[in-house]
Every structure is written in C-alpha cells, then in structure tokens.
Structure 1
C-alpha cells in the first residue's frame, strides 16, 4: 500500500471513529435521550422539581422546567413555544389546546387533585369556617385586599371566584381583590404582608412557612381541582416524553406529589 493509500485509509478510519463517537454516549452506549421541556402550572413548582430530580437520578437528562399560570403556558404553546409535556392546573386550558389539536389525546390523563384554602400569616392566625355569611371584610380589615390568582384567566382565581360566588360572598369581596399573575404570586403577596389573606391551593402552603390555612373551601363550592397531563403534538422527543408521563405515575413520583400536598389520582 502506498503512503497516499495509507493516509486515505487512516482518514476514513478517523471519520468512522468520529461518527461513531457522536452516535454513542460518553459511556459507549446508545445516544442519550435529549432533555425534555416540561410546561407545568406554577403550583407544581416544588413538587415537579423534586420529581425531576428523581427522573434524572434514573439516568435521564434533567428536564427543562417552565412554570407559570396554566393560561400563560397554554397560550405560549398555542403560539409555537417548543415543549414536550404540559401539565395544567385545570381542564379548561388543556381543553383549549386540545381544540387546536396541540395535544395527543391518547396521552391525556388527570394526574393530580388539590384543595382550595384561605391562607393568612401564621402569627395571629384566626381559623374560620368558610360558609355563606363569612365576614371576609373583617378578615381583610380597613383597606385590606384579598390576594387571588386573576379570576379572568388563572385557574386558582377561577376556582376562587366559583367558590365565593356559590357561597354568596363574591359581591362583597370583588372590589377588594388583589389579582396576581399566578397562584404563587398571590401567595407571595400574603407572605410579604401586602395582603392580609389570600386564596391559594392547599399544596401551596408548604412553600410559605410563615403562612397557615385559616379555612378550607367546601369541595361543593367549586369545580373539582384537577391537573391534567398530556404529550404535546409538537414534541421534539415524543418517545422520551411518553416515558416521562409514565414515570409521573410511578410510586416514587406519586409519593413526591403527596408529600407536596397533592392528591394523586388513580383514574385516567
């Protein structure tokens, strides 16, 4: 073999080795699955971060988590934002995406449940029974406002308006609302002392040690609080996303959700 032929063979071998290295992971196995992008309701922030760490511990790439109000996330998906999985805090915004054929119907399922509570600073907490006739004005005090997710679009705010309306409390409290862009923002208003009370999910209270539940809204006062999950039709890693959705149903993930204050649903 001439020196020119030897050099050509060496270059071909190098090219083959380089291509193989790109196809194989750092451990010499199959190419690692890409990181998923997960859009999740703001109330899922702490729970999903924990679940993501469990997923990563099993050898998967750490998912990119994006938290905001379900309405904001759904509209971002509708405008073409790249994401693989969506977990909403209500059915409305998942239905909205489904109507646009942006979720895969066979992957949609109700994952979690939650409760709706009135939260106040732990110091000086005065428990109340939430029922018709409750004097919310007395709880708020002169000039005080009730922190809620924006009732026009944020699921927690929509549930809050339903509950207050069915309990005949809405008309009295509507002029005194402090609407926030998502439920965690409403929680923060109470934490900072900018609102004496707020309506949030029961699971949110664990994220604010200085706050406590003053009362829980009757389940009959609002629609069931459900968190549907689904694979998005525009997902760039659909196979890995399906595995992630299945992982959310494992005992380890379920326990993480329970520890965060959610109800884990067994039905699809």
Structure 2
C-alpha cells in the first residue's frame, strides 16, 4: 500500500513516531517532487507498506534535519544529501545513487517550435511573460537551470523574467496551465504532463550531473526501510523509473 501525505501532515506526526522506526510501521519516504508518479510505480507490487511525502529537495532535507519522521530520503541533488551526511542525518553506509534525469525546456501543449536556442529567441518567446524554474538557490532543478543559463550566456538576459517556484512540479504546472510561455523542468516531468511540449533538450554538459541519491535516515532503521532500499535498486523498480522518463545512473553523461 502506497500513501501520499503532505509534508506538514507527516511532520505533525513526529511526536507519535518519535524514536527508532518500528518494524511493523509503514515506511515513510521523503522524496523529491519530480519523483511523484514514478516512485509509486516503482513500489507497486512490492508488498511494502509505504507512505510518501513529496516536496522540494531543500525542503525535504531541512525537515529531516529538524527531526521529521522520515525513514528513507530520495532527493534530486547530491549537495543536499551531502549536507545531511555531513550533519549526521543519514546512515552513510546505505547511501546510493538511485537515478539520473535530464533537463528540458518546455512550452504549453501546441507551442510553436522555438528554432535556435539563444537569448534572443527565448526573450522573443517570453515577450512580457516569465520563464518558470525551480528556485535557483534551493530547488535542484532551478540550480541546474541556472548553471545551464550561465554556461550558455543567457543568465543576465533571462534572470529578470524568471518565475521561481518551490519545486519543479510547480514550475511544470505554470507551463501546463498556460500561465507562462516557457519553463525548465526535468524530462521525466515533461513526460508526465500532456499539457506541455518539449521545445529543447538542454545540453547536459552545461550543468552538473542530475543524480538522485537515496539513503536511510539516521535512527530510523527497520526491516521495512531496508526492504525499500533493496527493492528500489532492483531491476523491476529501475525499469519502472526508466518508463517514467528517468535515466539509469550508468547512462548519465
């Protein structure tokens, strides 16, 4: 059984869940927002009783550090997991790189081809509109997007027209609803939403590799949590992730 909970609902259960995780309790997973849908598919049929809370990776990491009762974390950025590790919040021996992803530029469904990808064509398409991205100082997809724009020489021109969001799925929704003409999201997000169209695939050499590390939270060891870690690196789970637009770690550029 897989249940999805809001992060604040999970946090409110902290007192009731204090201490080490019970072996018979549902496994609580804190996961990057971009994993919504794919993670359920990967866990489907595993027999594991899990509940999943989604959010921006920075938000998830900070909540874990503050004592939110997560058993397993899967984030979309190596730096946030490094931070958790440095502060003693994850069991280092359980850390593994689970998945990869790619960055794409999207427009609403039916958007015209963009042509050459440069600052002029992007500004022309934006007109008075905004470019939706995850927050460029905290959300991994936004951090990668900023790295790309800086490497491509677009940053200074596009920075005033950014619409920064709390997670990548919020950026995706702005494009899908037609509220902005362009957005930078993951390829898996674009695949998940028929309301958007991929206009360009961003060169992976222009930003840090997109990696999703997974680890057990310190003090939350249980048979169920270990079963989640084992299942999610299985071939069956990997195939489910790939079917949802993610990449195998071995296929990263």
Tell me if TM exceeds 0.5: yes
TM-score by length of 2: 0.87
- The CA deviation at 1:54 is 2.5
Q: Give the whole-Å Cα distance in 2 for the aligned partners of 1:156 and 1:226.
A: 11
Question: Are residue 51 (structure 1) and residue 42 (structure 2) matched?
Answer: yes
Q: Give the whole-Å Cα distance in 1 for the aligned partners of 2:164 and 2:203.
A: 22
- Alpha-carbon contact 1:82-1:234 (below 8 Å) kept: no
Greater radius of gyration (CA): 1
- Alpha-carbon contact 1:117-1:200 (below 8 Å) kept: yes
Question: Tell me, what secondary structure is at the counterpart of 2:63?
Answer: helix
TM-score by length of 1: 0.82
- The CA deviation at 1:89 is 0.2
- The CA deviation at 1:88 is 0.6
Partner residue of 2:61 out of 41, 61, 74: 74
1:75-124 deviation digits (Å, cap 9, x = unpaired): 00011000100001010110110011111111101110100000011213
Gaps of 5+ in 2: 1-21
Q: Give the whole-Å Cα distance in 2 for the aligned partners of 1:233 and 1:196.
A: 43
Question: Are residue 167 (structure 1) and residue 152 (structure 2) matched?
Answer: yes
- 1:183-202 equivalence runs, <5 A: 183-202=168-187
2:88: which partner in 1? Answer: 101
Alpha-carbon spacing, 1:128–1:103, altered in 2? closer, same or farther (3 Å): farther
Q: CA RMSD in A?
A: 1.7
Q: Give the whole-Å Cα distance in 2 for the aligned partners of 1:134 and 1:165.
A: 15
Q: Give the whole-Å Cα distance in 2 for the aligned partners of 1:102 and 1:32.
A: 20
Q: Give the whole-Å Cα distance in 2 for the aligned partners of 1:146 and 1:51.
A: 31
Q: Give the whole-Å Cα distance in 1 for the aligned partners of 2:119 and 2:135.
A: 24
- 1:1-268 equivalence runs, <5 A: 33-56=24-47, 60-61=48-49, 63-130=50-117, 133=119, 135-141=121-127, 143-235=128-220, 237-266=221-250
